[in-house]
Structure 1
Amino acid sequence: MTDADERLWRMGLEVVRKLQERGFEAYLVGGCARDRLLGRPLHDVDVATSAHPEQVAASFERVIPTGLQHGTVTVMHEGTPFEVTTYRTESGYSDARRPDSVAFVRDIREDLARRDFTINAMAAGLEGEWIDPYGGREDLSACIVRCVGDADRRFGEDALRMVRAIRFAAAFRFRLAKSVWRGIRSQAQRLRFVAMERIGAEWDKMMAGADPDRACRLLARSGLMAHLKEPLPAGLKAGMLAYRTAAEVGPKLRDIADTDARWIAWLSRCGAEPEEAVRFCRTIRLSGKREARIGQGVAFARRMAVSPGDRATFITAVLDFGKPAASDWLAAIGAGTGNGHGHAALLKCLEELPADSVRQLAVRGDELARHWDRPAGPWVAKVLRSLLEEVAFGRLPNDNAALLRAAEAFKES
């Protein structure tokens, strides 16, 4: 762990100490405890305590009431936020997401009993002691994701936990316990109650994670994607099933540095059409900017699928879909291989391209209109595109005078 991780852990223990000095129990809990044992980076540190929210608020100078209905406040300690939550039990999950009611309790073990997986149901104390009633450390050592108690019940409470189980298995390269698989198959239909934003956020984390290939294969194997609130494009669902058992094509997704380039590679390998890729991004609620980028990248990949290493096809695709889409496609097919589909030659071609858009031409549309004393119209765009192709293919220098002379040949076409 880094110095920053150690500092964050130490600051969390300072919050625990301050609560204990006021007579309350307190522990570091959840993901931070798990990641501490795994030696992984800490993203945030959460505290569970016997103190009620108003008692926590009275113990610190700056406290933000972020979730009072669930017993949670955010303590600002040396400029860093720490979520502090009162020990609680939960009951009733009518929306398959949130508890209908919570009850504050006095025992950390009762609080841990409500959590999703054993590896997330551990608590670390101020003096180095661990509260681990469900065998989380043993499951970490065995590299297994197991529910706290009955999997059917855990997934019935919050159906998103089924997707989270897959994310954890992929991120940590763990296996799913048989009971977890049985629970997923039993409760899969409850996923239709989960908002697509939550599904998309989990899937996006998987794609950005340590082993997105495994995550996507586990998702396909689980059958969960057939039970979404909004259906995936039909062609993509079929492609996911084929991807589940397909041999590796191109680099592993984890070898691609950028998350959106990973999405482009995965969607392309699933056989998604550009329109399906855009609908998929919209379905899982990616931003409009990311949707456009991924759609263009998939369109570029589809164009190149017929002649992956062909320079002429590549240059024309750059002009049609843009240089960023070309860079994404090169990342998707070239990471980890260095020469897939003539990767090095096409990368050099992209870097040396004289122009990749009409904005880079040394002549403007209004200039063409004045030159021939003609009103602007569709003909201008056609001439500029023809000039761009000549420049991009190296048949014409990007020079104003040369472009105006060459434009004569395209003026009437």
Structure 2
Amino acid sequence: MKLIASIEEAGFAAYLVGGCVRDRLLGRALRDIDIATSAFPEQVTAIFGKVVPTGLKHGTVTVLEDGCPFEVTTFRRETAYSDGRHPDEVAFVPDLRTDLSRRDFTFNAMAVGSDGCLVDPFEGEADLRRRVVRCVGDARERFGEDALRMLRAIRFAAELRFELDEELRSGLRAQRERLALVAMERIGAELDKMAGGADPGRAFALLADSGLTRHAKETVAAALPGRAELPPDARWSELDDENARWAVLLLAAGMDAAGAGELARSLRFNGKRAARLAAALRVDGDLREAGFWEATDEAGRRRIWIRTALACGTEAAGLWLQAMRAAPSLAARRAAGGCAYWQPERLAAWLREMPAASVSGLAVRGDELVRLTGRKPGPWVAAALASLLERVALGELPNEAGPLLQAASSFTGEREGEAGRI
């Protein structure tokens, strides 16, 4: 490639390294393309002029070539990892093999030069053919240096559908307590990649078997599904939304809304994601409490479903429905008498057919109710609008100003079922 040629023309060695070499050999789409070079960062800067100093301490700069970013890192070796995550010291070295020897797994410790020849000192290509995840050198040492590598090993095994090398498994068991040294946001990022990967079921089964998450800084192990709880029929490829995948995992684990929110916060998901997951789990709890799974008549199920969607939000209801449709066995666990009445396509249709899904979608506003009734503004306005919304969503009232105002004129604020209901 042109970038490597430019470095070589300046008198330095340069190679494609790491994941891009692995994925090229596997025939997978290339994502990040990393380059290792004998040139120091200031020399790379001199060659390309304008670069982004993304990690000068570790010898990394980012070069923009044809609008695409490429990380270029000087050959290096690393000393002890006192914090179990970052090297205490980085030293630049002149040769590629030393640089490759510091990497985590054999299939990530390969390089390709401008001549197209593979540099593979640790038999990574053979491990790709064997379909095995194996550490470079001693697994205990690799995991002792960087405890996050243990989660990465599981993620690679699930994503590539590889097996874990026995020595790697032994090293993981020996070093798993060191996961407590890893920041929760890094753990959350790895688990998120597992959930968004090719086979989340296998990833979380391997994770459960490993016992790794029991040693995290914050309690997360109890919130994740065990191997036996994972739905065997989950069709993960149907779920493009990672939050829907997490909903499957948390529903399988028997999580409630409060627990889902707590787990999301522990994994350092942002507030919006935490709220979405908690709302989806609230849908599940509210449906159970309202007797949705025991209702045998369609009208009763529809009323419970629409009321739940209004209470939790139609987005949350849709997220819950995506998860349940992709893993039918989750519904079977909830319907004690069988799933004869489980019709996810009907629930989806009922959501689509709702004339209004929120108060803002009504054809009347709160100030209009105040003028109509002559009453002072207060909590009654929100209660009246909520009552109107439910009747519109259920199809009992048209979403038109006239009928809505007429219905609101008799509202006194009592709860549904009493004289004051709109």
Is 1:333 the equivalent of 2:331?
Answer: no
What is the alpha-carbon distance in structure 2 between the residues aligned to residue 394 and residue 53 of structure 1? Answer: 67
Give the secondary-structure state (helix, strand or coil) at the position aligned to 2:73.
Answer: strand
Q: What's the CA shift string for 1:65-120, capped at 9, x where partnerless? A: 22222111222222222111111111011111111112221221111000000010
Q: What's the CA shift string for 1:334-378, capped at 9, x where partnerless? A: 2487xx731111111111111221221222222112211111112
Quote the residue 2:224 is aligned against. 240
Is 1:161 the equivalent of 2:179?
Answer: no
The answer to which of 13-22 and 133-142 deviates more is 13-22
Aligned Cα root-mean-square deviation (Å) = 1.8
Quote the residue 2:169 is aligned against. 181
Is 1:255 the equivalent of 2:256?
Answer: no
What is the alpha-carbon distance in structure 2 between the residues aligned to residue 307 and residue 207 of structure 1? Answer: 29
Is 1:124 the equivalent of 2:112?
Answer: yes
Residue 54 of structure 1 aligns with an amino acid whose one-letter code is E
Is 1:317 the equivalent of 2:302?
Answer: no
Quote the residue 1:199 is aligned against. 187
Quote the residue 1:229 is aligned against. 217
Quick check: 2:231–2:327 contact (8 Å CA) kept in 1? no
Give the secondary-structure state (helix, strand or coil) at the position aligned to 1:66.
Answer: strand
Quick check: 1:250–1:333 contact (8 Å CA) kept in 2? no
Quick check: 1:121–1:136 contact (8 Å CA) kept in 2? yes
Match of 2:286 among 284, 300, 303: 303
Is 1:393 the equivalent of 2:394?
Answer: yes
What is the alpha-carbon distance in structure 2 between the residues aligned to residue 376 and residue 336 of structure 1? Answer: 47
Quote the residue 1:407 is aligned against. 408
Quote the residue 1:345 is aligned against. 346
Give the secondary-structure state (helix, strand or coil) at the position aligned to 1:83.
Answer: strand
Quick check: 1:122–1:133 contact (8 Å CA) kept in 2? yes
Quick check: 1:249–1:269 contact (8 Å CA) kept in 2? no
Provide the TM-score with structure 2 as the length reference.
Answer: 0.89
Give the secondary-structure state (helix, strand or coil) at the position aligned to 2:137.
Answer: coil
Alpha-carbon distance, 1:22 to partner: 2.3
Unmatched runs of 5 consecutive residues or more in structure 1: 1-12
Q: State the identity as a percent.
A: 51
Q: What's the CA shift string for 1:294-340, capped at 9, x where partnerless? A: 11111112223452582222111111011111211221122487xx7
Instruction: Write out the 4+ residue segments of structure 1 that deviate beyond 6 Å after TM superposition.
Output: none
Quote the residue 1:113 is aligned against. 101
Quick check: 2:372–2:409 contact (8 Å CA) kept in 1? no
What is the alpha-carbon distance in structure 1 between the residues aligned to residue 371 and residue 272 of structure 2? Answer: 36
Q: 1:239 to 1:101 in 2, by over 3 A?
A: closer
Q: 1:216 to 1:408 in 2, by over 3 A?
A: same
Quote the residue 1:292 is aligned against. 275
Alpha-carbon distance, 1:248 to partner: 2.3
Give the secondary-structure state (helix, strand or coil) at the position aligned to 2:255.
Answer: coil
Alpha-carbon distance, 1:250 to partner: 5.9
Quote the residue 2:337 is aligned against. none
Residue 170 of structure 2 aligns with an amino acid whose one-letter code is R
Quick check: 1:212–1:254 contact (8 Å CA) kept in 2? no
What is the alpha-carbon distance in structure 2 between the residues aligned to residue 94 and residue 201 of structure 1? Answer: 22
Q: What's the CA shift string for 1:243-301, capped at 9, x where partnerless? A: 31136266333431211111112111111110110111111111111111111111112
Quick check: 2:363–2:400 contact (8 Å CA) kept in 1? yes
Q: What's the CA shift string for 1:36-79, capped at 9, x where partnerless? A: 11111111211111122222222223222222221112222222
Match of 2:265 among 282, 295, 318: 282
Is 1:81 the equivalent of 2:69?
Answer: yes
Match of 1:57 among 22, 28, 45: 45
Give the secondary-structure state (helix, strand or coil) at the position aligned to 2:135.
Answer: coil
Is 1:33 the equivalent of 2:17?
Answer: no
Quote the residue 1:384 is aligned against. 385
Give the secondary-structure state (helix, strand or coil) at the position aligned to 1:84.
Answer: strand
